[in-house]
Amino acid sequence: MTTVRYFAAAAEAAETEAEERGEATLAELRTAILAEHPKLWFVLPDCAVLVDGVRTDGDTQLEDARLIDVLPPFAGG
């Protein structure tokens, strides 16, 4: 299992800060979390996704992944 952590607007849209997931690839994970958390449709396309601390934009195998962070854009200066 992989822990998925949601931050800021992503946590609000998912209505949780973390959950355990078992999808095999990042593409499968995206499909599953969008189906289960429909409000993420408005946030996820703009989010950075980190797999074990490394930003990942494409599809990635998750069999060895321990932690996935979903980070929306943050404002700041």
10 in a structural domain:
yes
How do residues 10-54 score in pLDDT, each as one tens digit?
A: 999 999 999 999 999 999 999 999 999 999 999 999 999 999 999
For 55, the token pair is: 């930003």
Residue 24 belongs to what domain range?
Answer: 2-71
pTM for this entry: 0.92
CATH at residue 7: 3.10.20.30
- Domain presence at residue 76: no
- Flag whether 16 is in a domain: yes
Q: What pLDDT does residue 57 have?
A: 81
Best CA proximity match to 40, nearest among 51, 30, 52? 30
77 found inside a domain: no
Total structural domains in the chain?
A: 1
Q: How many CB atoms lie within 10 A of CB 65?
A: 22
